Amino acid sequence: MPSIFNKYYPKRNIVFFLGEGLLIFIPILLSCWLFKGAGLFRIDLMLYVGQAALVTFVFQLCLYFFDLYDLNCDISMPDTATRIVQAFGLGCIILSALFYLVPDLLIHTKIFWSGFLITSVALLVYRSLYYRILRQRMFVQGVVLIGTGRMADDIAREVEGRQDSVYKIVAFVGEGSSVFNPHQVPIVSGLDEVKTLFPHQLIERVVVAPDDRRGSTPVRTLLEYKMKGCTIEQGVTFYERITSKILVERVNPGWMIFSDGFVLSRWRYLVKRFLDVVMALLLFVVSFPVMVISAVIIKFESPGPILYMQERVGENKTTFKVIKFRSMRQDAEKDGAVWAKKNDDRVTKFGGFIRKVRIDELPQLWNVLKGEMSFVGPRPERPVFVDDLVMEIPYYNLRHGIKPGLTGWAQVKYPYGASKEDALRKLEYDLYYIKNLSIALDLLIIFYTVKTVLFHKGGR
């Protein structure tokens, strides 16, 4: 599991997260020492450590749910302070419930609130300093980007468009000036010119991303940089690593064939199937009362069946009937199949609610138990749409190499979409998932899904 954090979270972000955890943990422990005295503190040390660890876990979980670890956009300190108050308010409610259920974990009022006040002030100061680091682009790697075309523009927007980027572009190599360049860094015609502008020590990575590769790659100069310790990386590979998606429109079949991944071993397949069955059974038991109540409301709200069965494309392009709670009027597709849209007038009042909190998809647990779907995988699409998308979007058929899922990398990383353009953007995430498929990634997606469901993100 540590590798999954290193892969999806830069070391700087991990250090920031751990540092903030210490700023919650230490004040609680310090308050215990001050109010209990050194002698009693030593006797019950493990109890106080456990209490401080519990508070730290709950508070950081709440900070995550309030998007306080999503630092890709500029966030003001007043907004940060407001969100911290909201997150800690929810944390206090959760801790109160835990203390009620397990009285032995109860923290004395003076200890808790003293630690809470110190933590709140420390976090504001800590985040203020960290935001300053992000704005001044400190502790980042200098990147030379070879290319000024569409691929280079896509990469530049991802690198320079994020406040928490761990890279910064120091120069472009190529002709033209249409590439995304908000900091107005030099655009030179050859890599040799970069050496006159920057010493090797300031350039830690060279990304090769020209739209036309014919005779445009300065092999000898790249080799010289590599021998001096600089990392040389293909544009599509670099883009995949920093965005966790594959640049479908720019990648060629050779890259897909020779790159690592796109392998689902027999052992991993069996483990994934075992987890699917276990989680589907557990979720079915837990959600059964919710499903019964939903079924009753659907039946009385509008005429028509409670369940809605629709043909979808699954693994190896085999079709199956997906089962959902009906969230639209019975005559929703009297004029033929159409993409769903925002504020769709075909959706019933209760249907809009169950779509937002994903209750409408709970019957798909039966599809998982039957082996037609997995818990995690690409979203299954309708055959009528698949036929068009396969013709218009490159590599679209590859998403049918594995079972579709209740949730997936595209579902948690991209807003709900219902158009061909959205299908292309979501395919970038689906192919990344298929390429990097692992049990650890599945668990990470499930963790993200909890946040998506609780905060009604993505549903329509």
pLDDT at 459 over 60: no
DSSP string, 144-197: EEE--SHHHHHHHHHHHT-TT-SEEEEEEESS-S-S--TT---EESSHHHHHHH
Determine which of 97-106, 323-332, 352-361 has the lowest per-residue pLDDT on average: 323-332
Residue 332 shares a structural domain with residue 433: yes
Residue 314 shares a structural domain with residue 426: yes
Residue 191 shares a structural domain with residue 216: yes
Residue 460 lies in a domain: no
pTM: 0.87
Tally of domains within the chain: 3
The 10s digit of each residue's pLDDT in 359-416 is 989 999 999 999 999 999 999 999 988 988 988 898 999 999 999 999 999 999 987 7
pLDDT band at 460 (very low <50, low <70, confident <90, very high): very low
Residue 217 lies in a domain: yes
Residue carrying structure tokens 């200098």 = 142
pLDDT band at 75 (very low <50, low <70, confident <90, very high): confident
Q: What is the pLDDT of residue 257?
A: 85
Residue 250 lies in a domain: no
Going from the C-alpha of 296 to that of each of 301, 357, 432, the distances in angstroms are 9, 17, 40
Residue 91 shares a structural domain with residue 178: no
Residue 312: strand, helix, or coil: strand
pLDDT at 33 over 50: yes
pLDDT at 343 over 70: no
Residue 394 shares a structural domain with residue 309: yes
Q: What is the pLDDT of residue 88?
A: 94
Name the residue with higher pLDDT: 169 or 343: 169
Of 243, 275, 298, the residue that ends a domain is 243
Segment 59-88 mean pLDDT = 90
Question: What distance in Å separates the CA atoms of residue 325 and residue 305, rounded to the nearest whole number?
Answer: 9
The 10s digit of each residue's pLDDT in 241-250 is 999 999 998 8
Q: What is the pLDDT of residue 1?
A: 46
pLDDT at 6 over 60: no
Residue 257 lies in a domain: no
Residue 282 shares a structural domain with residue 412: yes
pLDDT at 431 over 50: yes
pLDDT at 72 over 60: yes
Q: What is the pLDDT of residue 3?
A: 54
Residue 124 shares a structural domain with residue 145: no
Q: Are 451 and 65 in contact (CB under 8 A)?
A: yes
| Mean pLDDT of all residues belonging to the chain | 87
Q: What is the pLDDT of residue 372?
A: 95
Q: What is the pLDDT of residue 190?
A: 86
Residue 424 shares a structural domain with residue 289: yes
Q: What is the pLDDT of residue 340?
A: 59
Residue 108 lies in a domain: yes
Residue 312 shares a structural domain with residue 377: yes
pLDDT band at 200 (very low <50, low <70, confident <90, very high): low
pLDDT band at 2 (very low <50, low <70, confident <90, very high): very low
pLDDT band at 40 (very low <50, low <70, confident <90, very high): confident
Of 80, 107, 135, the residue that ends a domain is 135
Residue 130 shares a structural domain with residue 146: no
Q: Are 376 and 406 in contact (CB under 8 A)?
A: yes
With a pLDDT cut of 70, the percent of the chain lying above it is 92
What is the domain range of residue 174?
141-243
With a pLDDT cut of 90, the percent of the chain lying above it is 51
pLDDT at 344 over 70: no
Q: What is the pLDDT of residue 345?
A: 66
Q: Are 338 and 418 in contact (CB under 8 A)?
A: no
Segment 343-349 mean pLDDT = 74
pLDDT at 121 over 80: yes
Residue 380 shares a structural domain with residue 406: yes
Residue 137: strand, helix, or coil: coil
The 10s digit of each residue's pLDDT in 271-325 is 999 999 999 999 999 999 999 999 999 988 888 899 989 899 999 999 999 999 9
Residue 12 lies in a domain: yes
Q: What is the pLDDT of residue 337?
A: 56
pLDDT at 455 over 80: no
Q: Per residue in 127-164, is it b (16+ CB within 10 Å) or e — as a string?
A: beebbeebeeeeebebbbbbbbbebbbbbbebbbebeb
Of 211, 243, 275, the residue that ends a domain is 243
Residue 256 lies in a domain: no
pLDDT band at 10 (very low <50, low <70, confident <90, very high): confident
Neighbours of 89 (CB within 10 A): 12
| CATH number of the domain encompassing residue 171 | 3.40.50.720
Residue 164 shares a structural domain with residue 179: yes
The 10s digit of each residue's pLDDT in 124-167 is 999 999 999 988 888 889 999 999 889 999 999 999 988 888 89
pLDDT at 334 over 70: no
Residue 306 lies in a domain: yes
Which of 216-220, 263-267, 301-305, 316-320 shows the highest mean pLDDT? Answer: 316-320
